[in-house]
Structure 1
């Protein structure tokens, strides 16, 4: 979700040198991913392209102020953090307003939360399906070798000796099943990112690593 951000609306009388200085300050802040200075002329051109007509000719002047377009890092792209950032930035005299669509930000965050829960539920479902299938396979394998197992018991083989090959096979199949589940899960995540490009970005690699490790360990242990 690293495309979420806001526009820093600047006062009309701010000098361009001061704007560049402010932009450097913003770029140094930990919560900011990137900034882009939008001049009055560039803002007018964007608005003209959006409206499809020359509004300046109609008004007789350009009412749009210069601004700095800000993009936030993922962990700061939520309503509470943006409100704190807004209060912090409003301390600068050259800033007129910090503009962002509050309702859109809340909606996007709620959708992200729901998508995350769906992905988590889907990963659990895939893991359970893999575990169930592998368990059934192991049970069938044991049943098919019941006569061999009985023979081994008759010649004095211990339970641990008999169980060891099945445990290794079960762990290997659990690991393989977990990899298949992860491949499907990460494929789903990739499709979501492609479908909602610029809105959703799963770049919390620590969380993804923990999820992958959890799925693999669950697949191995439960089998």
Structure 2
């Protein structure tokens, strides 16, 4: 009875330990997913400004918009007429600039937002060349410094996050492995006794492996529940996070946590059983 209680306690501590480690890994994964979504939103909010010649007719502007809307790089386009540009500039200046100039010096334009994968210096330069082929386009401008810095910084951040993710995954595997092996320590005499009475390795390991599947499943579900709670609290505090949330990505993350917990628990448990089967009985003490 004492051995059984000790074994149950070990399994309980194992589930708790694995759950905490999976929760840590899942939280980092959720932060990484939201960070990537936020980066994509920032990229897609950056606009390329297409200015037309002063005498460009509205139908030519509309034709250019139609052409851009069909391109794979286009997220959305918005036409800004001369009057709209004047109103926006006047609001910025605090007075109607036409009052002291006597005319509207601004031009019709199109704001072009790109899909995030096209927001890089090389891609935008190619897009600029494509647009400037039109004889109604006066100039194409975009924040070059911001794009260059964004591309360089995102590359560095991606490398750092990739390294951190690999290190964290390795740490998680080691921690879960040690937690499960520690839980199996209380069953070492039971394993050896079954071997001594003639039980096969498969027969001995089967119930432990089955228990490992259940424990891994429980750990993954507990960790997933904790992650969903953190997500709920975070979105209550920062409602904007809801717009960044991807249901598909979150489902994949939770599924990976559960499957990962099961696999690592089963592998660690099986290794422990095999280890105690190979040990001489005197080394069990």
Relative to 1, partners in 2 of residues 1:179 and 1:47: Cα closer, same or farther, differing over 3 Å? Answer: farther
Give the whole-Å Cα distance in 1 for the aligned partners of 2:221 and 2:148: 34
The Cα shift of 1:171 comes to 5.7
State the Cα deviation string for residues 38-71 of structure 1 (Å, max 9, x = none): 0111112222222333333233322111100001
Q: Which structure 2 residues correspond to residues 29-44 of structure 1 after superposition, within 5 A?
A: 29-44=71-86
Instruction: Please name the residue that 2:204 is paired with.
Output: 162
The Cα shift of 1:109 comes to 2.2
Query: Are the aligned partners of 2:220 and 2:259 in contact in 1 as well (CA < 8 Å)?
Result: no
Query: Larger deviation: 12-21 or 46-55?
Result: 46-55
The Cα shift of 1:156 comes to 1.6
Give the whole-Å Cα distance in 2 for the aligned partners of 1:213 and 1:110: 33
Instruction: Please name the residue that 2:114 is paired with.
Output: 72
Larger relative helix fraction: 2
Instruction: Please name the residue that 1:113 is paired with.
Output: 155
Query: Are the aligned partners of 2:82 and 2:108 in contact in 1 as well (CA < 8 Å)?
Result: yes
Q: Which structure 2 residues correspond to residues 10-29 of structure 1 after superposition, within 5 A?
A: 10-29=52-71
Segments of 5+ residues of structure 1 without an aligned counterpart are none
State the Cα deviation string for residues 109-146 of structure 1 (Å, max 9, x = none): 23333443444344334433432332122111210111
Relative to 1, partners in 2 of residues 1:209 and 1:73: Cα closer, same or farther, differing over 3 Å? Answer: farther
Instruction: Please name the residue that 2:5 is paired with.
Output: none
Give the whole-Å Cα distance in 2 for the aligned partners of 1:122 and 1:177: 22
CA RMSD of aligned residues (A): 3.7
Give the whole-Å Cα distance in 2 for the aligned partners of 1:171 and 1:131: 16
Segments of 5+ residues of structure 2 without an aligned counterpart are 1-39, 269-285
State the aligned residue count: 213
Q: Which structure 2 residues correspond to residues 179-190 of structure 1 after superposition, within 5 A?
A: 180=223, 183=227
TM-score, with normalisation over the residues of structure 2? 0.61
Instruction: Please name the residue that 2:35 is paired with.
Output: none
State the Cα deviation string for residues 156-201 of structure 1 (Å, max 9, x = none): 22233333444455566667559948x59x96xx98xx7999xxx7
Query: Are the aligned partners of 1:38 and 1:68 in contact in 2 as well (CA < 8 Å)?
Result: yes
The Cα shift of 1:13 comes to 1.0
The Cα shift of 1:37 comes to 0.2
